Amino acid sequence: MKTIISNSPGETFQFGVDYGGRLQPGDVVALSGELGTGKTVLAQGICFGIGYRGEVTSPSFVRIHTYPHTAPIYHADLYLLRTEAEVIDLGLDELYGSEAIVIVEWAQRFPGLLPEGCHWIELEWYDDKESSRRITISD
């Protein structure tokens, strides 16, 4: 476990850049945290760190974005999904264990459907400050 404090969106993005730079094809990153804690900002940094230079936006409404890259990146969001069946319908299972890098926002809603060995990153409000977040990584 490792914890850092981010004091701006830019710091969260940069944390993601460093983190993404260490990811390997096949890695799954499970982002947990309430609405507005910075999961999408972090995902943007992670994608940049992986080397993807296109736009990265919240997949809340479409559930999943695909970004073409050497190892394709799948960016999913479980926020609006209600049942395990809906999550299973997304087809994430077929991506796990492939060459793809998968980033899942709101992963805490369905922890049982995330693969063993995935990398958990939790974002929380910190110190009652509008721009501070505590980021905890599981490994």
Residue closer to ligand ADP by CB (options 26, 132) is 132
* Span 58-87, contacts to Mg ion by CB under 5 A: 58
Residue closer to ligand ADP by CB (options 41, 92) is 41
Alpha carbon of residue 114 to chain centroid = 12
**From 9-17, 104-112, 119-127, 130-138, span contacting Mg ion (CB under 5 A):** 104-112
Contact between 40 and Mg ion by CB under 5 A: the answer reads: yes
Is beta strand 119-125 parallel, antiparallel or unpaired with respect to 133-137? Answer: antiparallel
d(CA 111, CA 9): 26
Contact between 3 and ligand ADP by CB under 6 A: the answer reads: no
End-to-end CA distance of the chain: 5
Longest dimension (CA), the chain: 40
Residues at the contact surface with ligand ADP, assessed by CB under 6 A:
6-9, 11-12, 33, 35-41, 58, 105, 131-133
